[in-house]
């Protein structure tokens, strides 16, 4: 299923909220037909939400877009400690498939390893509770950016190797504290293990594991230079190393000096 959004008309954010369901909900917790589109980002937990007769199982990081004018309901309770962010977005006349200037998005988008989308939802929820003079315009602009974020994340789009490599690199740089397996990246970019490995090899000449370590060390080196007073223990945690010993060992192997010695080197002009 897909939903159409006009890029030539300004959508209004009618409501934006965060919800925490500490206990499972009743089975028919949602049972409604809304005059607006409903965007749901699942932060934690699990929930099955139905549109008309189609069930959508939401896992953490999933975005569900429910169309205005359709029947939305839940037949099962959510898992304990389920957390969501929800946006109610106005339906505009141009939100019609095939209409000029329309963006088509799938109803369910997997975005678990794309922190920019979660951050965009948070930004919209925060702005919705503000009261500045340009609140409505700011919200509409943020929502339009969210549409483009979701368009970039949608599955089924075949990207050239260079674009796939950049997508992988963006994931690694966005969460340097995590140690990704190739399988994690495959699920995030909807590509095979071979495609992921080939894209990174072609881009960098390294294996995926070696390139992930390369990115972590590059970012750690920059942090050491920018924040000379930060402890190595903190840097190790920030970039996914077990401890400062493992960071120092990997750092010296790459740069030929220890992190402490690297701090003393003059910054190139």
| Whole-number pLDDT of residue 269 | 43
Share of the chain above pLDDT 90, in %: 60
- What is the mean predicted confidence (pLDDT) over 181-188? 92
Residue 156 phi/psi, 5° resolution?
Answer: 85, 0
- Residue 47 and residue 125 in one domain: yes
Q: Is the pLDDT at 190 greater than 70, yes or no?
A: yes
- Residue 133 and residue 174 in one domain: no
- Residue 204 and residue 114 in one domain: no
| Whole-number pLDDT of residue 33 | 93
pTM, whole model, 2 decimals? 0.61
Residue 216 structural domain: 159-269
Q: Is the pLDDT at 115 greater than 80, yes or no?
A: no
- Residue 53 and residue 165 in one domain: no
- Residue 26 and residue 78 in one domain: yes
What pairs with residue 84 in β-bridges? 19, 42
Q: What angle do CA 27, 30, 33 make, to 5 degrees?
A: 145
Return the CATH number at 14.
Answer: 2.60.120.280
- Residue 132 and residue 34 in one domain: yes
Choosing from 122, 153, 184, the residue where a domain stops is: 153
Please count the structural domains in the chain.
2
158: confidence class by pLDDT, cuts 50, 70, 90: very low
Q: Convert the pLDDT of each residue in 215-268 to its tens digit.
A: 999 989 888 888 878 889 999 999 999 999 999 999 999 889 999 888 877 654
Candidate ranges 97-101, 158-162, 205-209, 222-226; pick with highest mean pLDDT: 205-209
- Residue 195 and residue 125 in one domain: no
Alpha-carbon distance of 245 to 134, in angstroms, equals: 50
Q: Is the pLDDT at 40 greater than 90, yes or no?
A: yes
Alpha-carbon distance of 125 to 158, in angstroms, equals: 32
Alpha-carbon distance of 3 to 154, in angstroms, equals: 12
Q: Convert the pLDDT of each residue in 72-99 to its tens digit.
A: 999 889 999 999 999 999 999 999 987 7
For residue 98, give the 3-state DSSP assignment.
coil
What pairs with residue 123 in β-bridges? none
- What is the mean predicted confidence (pLDDT) over 100-105? 87
Alpha-carbon distance of 68 to 27, in angstroms, equals: 22
| Span of 50-54, 198-202, 223-227 with lowest mean pLDDT | 223-227
- Residue 13 and residue 76 in one domain: yes
């Amino acid at each position: 299923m897909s939903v159409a959004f006009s890029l030539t008309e300004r959508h209004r954010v009618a409501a934006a909220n965060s919800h925490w369901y500490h206990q499972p909900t009743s089975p028919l917790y949602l049972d409604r037909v809304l005059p607006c589109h409903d965007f749901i980002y699942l932060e934690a937990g699990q929930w099955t939400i139905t549109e008309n007769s189609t069930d959508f199982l939401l896992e953490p990081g999933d975005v569900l877009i429910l169309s205005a004018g359709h029947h939305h309901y839940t037949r099962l309770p959510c898992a304990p400690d389920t957390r969501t962010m929800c946006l109610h977005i106005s339906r505009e006349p141009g939100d019609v498939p095939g209409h000029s200037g329309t963006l088509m998005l799938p109803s369910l988008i997997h975005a678990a390893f794309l922190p920019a989308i979660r951050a965009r939802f948070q930004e919209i929820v925060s702005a919705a509770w503000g009261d500045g003079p340009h609140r409505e315009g700011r919200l509409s602009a943020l929502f339009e950016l969210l549409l483009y974020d979701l368009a970039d994340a949608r599955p089924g789009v075949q990207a050239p190797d260079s674009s796939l490599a950049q997508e992988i690199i963006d994931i690694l740089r966005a969460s340097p504290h995590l140690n990704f397996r190739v399988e994690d990246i495959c699920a995030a970019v909807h590509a095979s293990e071979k495609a992921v490995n080939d894209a990174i090899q072609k881009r960098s000449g390294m294996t995926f594991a070696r390139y992930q370590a390369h990115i972590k060390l590059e970012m750690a080196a920059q942090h050491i230079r920018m924040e000379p007073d930060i402890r190595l223990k903190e840097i190790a945690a920030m970039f996914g190393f077990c401890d400062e010993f493992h960071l120092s060992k990997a750092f010296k192997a790459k740069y030929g000096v220890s992190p402490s010695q690297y701090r003393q080197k003059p910054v190139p002009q």
